[in-house]
Amino acid sequence: MKQRKIPMRKCVGCQEMKSKKSMLRIVHTPENETDVDPTGKKSGRGSYICYDEECLEKARKHKGLEKSLKSKISDDVYEKISYTIKRYILLNKGPNV
């Protein structure tokens, strides 16, 4: 049986290519809202970031999300992304990280 192709995406923080399922999608919707998209199914311009606080800081410092989404990103959105990353780490890797 033929193996399926694994979709790869580039992190806006560390610039590494990783599988789509191992990353968090941030979407800028047609309604001009920027939000976290854990399902990856919302319509709009999408951007991907690793589940890593360092990647988020790099993306924020170099405006990686703003460039890829072609939109200004508010502090509230960055806080929401940070919360989602911390929650993912806690749920999947445990509190000893």
Number of structural domains, the chain? 1
Pairing, β 23-28 against β 45-50: antiparallel
Q: Answer yes or no: is 48 within a domain.
A: yes
To the question of pTM greater than 0.75 for the whole model, the response is: yes
Is residue 14 one of the residues assigned to a domain?
Answer: yes
Determine contact, residues 2/63, Cβ cutoff 8 Å. Answer: no
Per-residue model confidence (pLDDT) at position 96: 60
Range of the domain at 56: 9-93
pLDDT, tens digit, 9 for 90 and up, residues 18-51 = 999 999 999 999 999 999 998 999 999 999 999 9
What is the sign of the dihedral through the CA atoms of 33, 74, 68 and 8?
A: negative
Mean pLDDT of the chain: 93
In a domain, 20, yes or no: yes
Q: Is residue 81 part of a domain?
A: yes
In CATH, what number is assigned to the domain containing residue 63?
3.30.1230.10
Please check whether residue 4 lies inside any domain of the structure.
Answer: no
Q: Is residue 73 part of a domain?
A: yes
Distance CA 87, CA 72 (A): 25
CA distances from 45 to 41, 75, 88, 94, 95 (A): 11, 19, 23, 32, 33
| pLDDT more than 70, % of the chain | 96
